[in-house]
Amino acid sequence: MAQVNGKEVKSLSEVTVRFAGDSGDGMQLTGSQFSDTTALVGNDLSTLPDYPAEIRAPAGTLYGVSGFQLHFSSNDIHTPGDTPDVLVAMNPAALKINLKDLKQGGVVIVNEDSFDSKNLKMAGYSVNPLDDESLTGYKVHQVPITTLTQTALKESKLGTKEVQRCKNFFALGMMYWMFSRPIEPTLEWIESKFKGNEDLIWANQKALKSGYYFGEQTEIFTTRFTVDPAKLPKGTYRNVSGNEAIALGFVAAAELSNLPLFLGSYPITPASDILHYLSKYKNYGVKTFQAEDEIAGIASAIGAAFGGSLAITTTSGPGVALKTEAMGLAVMTELPLVIINIQRGGPSTGLPTKTEQADLFQAIYGRNGEAPIPVIATSTPSDCFYLSIEAAKIALKYMTPVMLLSDGYIANGSEPWKLPNVDELETFHKEFRTEVENFNSYDRDENLARPWAVPGTPGLEHRIGGLEKHHITGNVSYDPDNHDFMVRLRAQKVAEIVKDVPDLEVRGDQEGELLVLGWGGTYGAITEAVDRILANGMNVSQAHLKYLNPFPKNLGDVLSRFKTILIPELNLGQLATVIRATYLREVVSLTKIKGLPFKSMEVESKISEILGGSNGK
């Protein structure tokens, strides 16, 4: 074991850290700065921000606790970690809420200053847990973070309150020291974030540095850790969250399709960040329209699609509910449109800041009439980039609305992303109809797509709308046979997209005892669970669905090759129901509806149980 400045340096292969404090303590910021720096030093990482719906819940309360968990490693990892190794608790409430998740023997760093009688009472502690046996079995470090921050900033021109608000940077500095991360990226970030306010820049930078030096000098910490860079494939990397990757994906899709991008959107958690990101890309010609409501968000996008834009609308479940009628209009008018649903806990307002996968039925079936639309689902933050492009491609090629599903966990979580070579991204130019001769607005090409004739094109003046359309001419038609024909035609058009859907790949044995079939954000937890089962010498296969309508054409065949199918989902078994109905076969459903992602252990335990093993660990 190496020694630096009289301190041990221990090398670890992976660590899970959780920052927790009041929702006003800046824990999300602290967590995301730690993530960005950790990405820059080359670790693989996965994050789980977990915060309340209230912006500034009363200080010290249990319900006001905001957390940010980060798993980083020198290996390829897939989840934010089941149990933290280190907990940074800024107050008693944060300790109370989070301690139960901590690994036995884990490290607890507490802000000692906040353990006063008022905060203890609010957290429901009758006795100070720092003084009794509650923390036995953990390595506890008590640091007077507030006092140390105040001392460090005694020359600052800021008021007491503002000085105290710098304490998250002190804590971050300590953690940078403990895990041997550079402080420079965050120093630069502070500089640009508070540009123009020298006092804030000075104070936050000073707090960060003071925290770092405190780690170096104090005798509280005897050990420092290093985590080597991960052996990731060669390339250029950046850290990316799911929502940012969706924004980047659609700007890229617009460039690749040579169309202007239009976003019609209404702010909603956890989708708003896509609107924020896209509204920055004015110099890419992106138009973002913050509409008066969810309905105007999609209606404006439909108008823009009629006018020849690559049009999208972003929202979460309650917003999709409001957009439903307009989605039917897009089905009837056969215009290209992508509806992006960042799923959250439901029903109704539900759990706005928590993750869930309970909008699958809504995505596949949730419209009046026979109104099929393609549905695809992202599985990791970086995957969002590619599936956004894929959604745009399908919408344009088949002239159809497409539902792209993500969830709060993918949206806010981040991971290192190996950037693609932009020259290798495939272009997909869509031709507008310009030829006047034989023009019919509901004519069909080989993909059953109708022509896209954009206003401004001479000689192609035509009318579309929500009333049933006559095949070929597009005139309003109430003819019973025509309606029957058109309903089947629209269904057939969506069904035939299957020809572009890649076959479902099975990881592991191609037939056997058990297949774990997942979709969406459960990918990481399932992968990690399967890894561990395989490492324990048991046999299991894994497949993950990205295309939920239509399903890959080999799905039925894949299902038939396994004795048992396990479907873990953060709902009451929606994919399981669709699979049963479509393929007439029984499946085992593993469900969890807590507003939290699966822990890999939960999936592993179910797999073990099915395989007759040791019931997990």
429 touches other proteins by CB under 8 A:
no
Binding flag, residue 308, other proteins (CB under 8 A)? yes
In the complex, the smallest distance separating the C-beta of residue 254 from other proteins, rounded to whole angstroms, is 10
Residue 443 interacting with other proteins (CB under 8 A): no
Nearest Cα residue to 138 out of 80, 83, 65, 85? 85
Q: Does 284 help bind other proteins (rule: CB under 8 A)?
A: yes
Q: Are 29 and 49 in contact (CB under 8 A)?
A: no
Q: Which residues contact 182 (CB under 8 A, 6 or more apart)?
A: 37, 40, 41, 176
Cβ nearer to other proteins, comparing 184 with 484: 184
| Tokens (6 digits) for 532 | 């561990």
Output the smallest distance, CB 385 to other proteins, in A. Answer: 9
The yes or no reply on residue 128 touching other proteins (CB under 8 A) is no
Among 87, 110, 311, 371, binds other proteins (CB under 8 A): 311
Specify the residue, 177 or 281, whose C-beta has the smaller distance to other proteins. 281
List of E strands, 74-222: 86-89, 107-111, 139-143
Window of 9-17, 210-218, 327-335, 370-378 that interacts with other proteins by CB under 8 A: 327-335
Question: Which three-class secondary structure state does DSSP give residue 455?
Answer: coil
Would you count residue 283 as binding other proteins (CB under 8 A)?
yes
The H-or-E segment that residue 95 falls in is helix 92-98
Instruction: Phi first, then psi: give them for residue 436, nearest 5 degrees.
Output: -80, -40
Binding to other proteins by residue 329, rule CB under 8 A?
yes
The reply to whether 154 sits near other proteins by the rule CB under 8 A is: no
25 CB-contact burial (10 Å; exposed 0-12 / middle 13-18 / buried 19+): buried
Task: Count how many Cα atoms sit within 13 Å of the Cα of residue 148 in the half-sphere of its side chain.
Answer: 26
Q: Find out whether 575 and 569 touch, Cβ atoms under 8 Å.
A: yes
Phi, psi of 522 (to 5 degrees): -80, 0
Among 287, 397, 483, 507, binds other proteins (CB under 8 A): 287
Of 472-531, which residues contact other proteins (CB under 8 A)? 475-476
- Stretch 226-265: interaction string toward other proteins, x if CB under 8 A: ---x--xxxxxxxx--------x--xx--xx---x-x-x-
Footprint of other proteins on 173-202 (CB under 8 A): 185
**Minimum Å distance from CB 507 to other proteins?**
24
Question: Running DSSP on this structure, what letter comes out for residue 334?
Answer: T
Output the smallest distance, CB 257 to other proteins, in A. Answer: 12
- Lookup: tokens for 614: 């040791």
CB of 370 to other proteins, least distance (A): 17
Nearest-approach distance from CB 422 to other proteins, in angstroms = 4
Contact indicator for 574, 360 with CB cutoff of 8 Å: yes
Q: Exactly one of 7, 14, 36, 218 binds other proteins (CB under 8 A); which one?
A: 36
Closer of 32 and 341 to other proteins (Cβ): 32
Nearest to other proteins of 104, 283 (CB atom): 283
Does 368 help bind other proteins (rule: CB under 8 A)?
A: no
Q: How far is the CB of 455 from other proteins (least distance, A)?
A: 4
Contact pick of 34, 177, 289, 409 for other proteins (by CB under 8 A): 289
> With contact defined as beta carbons under 8 Å apart, do 398 and 452 qualify?
no
Hey, which residues between 49 and 78 contact other proteins (CB under 8 A)? none
* CA distances from residue 292 to 297, 298, 322, 342, 590 in whole angstroms, order as listed: 7, 11, 13, 20, 40
